[in-house]
Amino acid sequence: MILELAHFQILAAALFCLGLYGVLARRSAVMVLMAVELMLNAVNINLVAFSAFRDISIVTGQVIAIFVITVAAAEIGLALAVIMRLYRRRGTVNVDEIDWMKG
């Protein structure tokens, strides 16, 4: 049995769903962020796998993966600044207690 694209797809799906569970179930904002990073990584695995298993001259998958990593880095820096600010103001990073925008 050889390594096929479906292996990587199922692994990426499992990683994405673990990240989804973390986003939905965790209460700490930092933990939610880490779960989002897991989901972004699952997407990257999918992109690179499709890139590797198709035509050799197509670099699109890897290039988009680089952009995803870039945006993830920007996102984590900004989000952690927001969390820090929130903690200084409210004294908590529990996403259940942050309901200022509740109508």
Partner 1 sequence: MGLILFYILGGLTLVAALGVVTTRNIVYGALFLLVAMSGVAGLFVLLFAEFLALVQLLIYGGAIIIVILFALMLTRTTDFSVATEHRRWPMAAVISLALFGLLAGAAIGDSGDYNTYQRSGISIEELGKGLFENWAVPFEIASIVLLVALIGAIVIGRSGEEEGGEGDQG
Residue 59: Cβ-neighbour burial (10 angstroms; 0-12, 13-18, 19+) = exposed
Question: Which residues are paired to 28 by β-bridges?
Answer: 94
In whole angstroms, how close is the CB of 50 to partner 1 at the nearest point? 8
**Residue nearer to partner 1 on the CB measure, 100 or 103:** 100
Cα–Cα distance measured from residue 103 to residue 93, given in angstroms and rounded to the nearest whole number? 21
In whole angstroms, how close is the CB of 103 to partner 1 at the nearest point? 14
Q: Take residue 88 and report the two structure tokens written for it.
A: 């200084």
**Residue nearer to partner 1 on the CB measure, 96 or 103:** 96
